[in-house]
Amino acid sequence: MFAKNEKNPNATSNAPVPTPPEPKAPPSKISDMPSVISADREVLCDLKSAGDIQVEGRVKGDIRSRSVSVMKGAVIEGSLYADTVNISGVVNGQVEAPQVSVYKNARVKGDIIHGTLAIESGAQFEGACRRLDSAKRQGEGKPQASQPIKAA
């Protein structure tokens, strides 16, 4: 393609028109900021992230990520798989993580498979607790959350 002559629009010069640079792909770095499901949102699907997820609203589906924080007022209807799980809201489903913390406002109904587990006084928990290593030997649960997650 050749540039049009400004004085005579029908004439062309031999100078090629510069092509715009191609857009660069975004970096594949994992963000330090969590993905947030805000309090006014309801998500009806499984969530998967290589980073962190903070839930303030409602999720009906399983969540897999590096860390999951279930904030006060949040409701999860599904299982959580992560390296770190912090629960201040409601979880109805299995929790599997090397590190699990259940805070005083939390309500958990489901099994917790953990490496370390902290439950504050006042938290409500209905289910069984098993250490990750013993659950592995029994062949229970899904693959560990600490396995790398391939970003889509």
For the chain, the domains span 35-137
Give the per-residue pLDDT at 146.
45
Give the per-residue pLDDT at 10.
60
Which residues fall within 8 angstroms of residue 34, CB to CB, at 6 or more apart? Answer: 51, 52, 53, 54, 67, 69
- List the chain pLDDT tens, one digit each, 152 residues: 455 555 555 655 666 666 666 666 565 566 788 899 999 999 999 999 999 999 999 999 999 999 999 999 999 999 999 999 999 999 999 999 999 999 999 999 999 999 999 999 999 999 999 998 866 656 554 444 444 444 44
Instruction: Look at the alpha carbons of 127, 133, 139, 141 in this order and tell me if their dihedral is positive or negative.
Output: positive
Give the per-residue pLDDT at 32.
80
Give the per-residue pLDDT at 145.
45
